[in-house]
Amino acid sequence: MDKLIVTGIDIGHNSLKAVVLKPIGDQYALLGYKEILLKEGIVAENNTINHQEIVKTLKQMKKELPFGAKRVAISVPDNSVISKKLQIEQSL
């Protein structure tokens, strides 16, 4: 398996999407694409209600994509991400 192959996963409100990409020169070749619609009630107001169903759907998606890539990039909605700026003393 090519170590450069990357799977991109988008966890959205209504579906999970994935692409499998392979770099060829300065471009990428699309090796596979899959979208699975989520059942209503799995994600509500940006909170996962039933994370086991998300895991089950991700496992299904993995079986249906052409490669089991070891490199994965994940996208989640902005308002689902928590970030915080920290100021640390220079002497630490």
- Detail the DSSP E strand segments found in the chain: 6-11, 15-24, 27-37, 43-44, 47-48, 71-75
Q: What's the pLDDT tens digit per position in 27-77? A: 999 999 999 998 877 766 656 567 788 888 888 888 888 776 678 888 876
Arithmetic mean of pLDDT over the chain: 79
Q: Write down the pTM of the prediction.
A: 0.70
Neighbours of 33 (CB within 10 A): 13
Which whole number is the average pLDDT over 11-19?
87
Contacts of 33 (CB under 8 A, 6+ apart): 17, 18, 19, 20
The domains found in the chain, sorted by start residue, are: 6-80 (3.30.420.40)
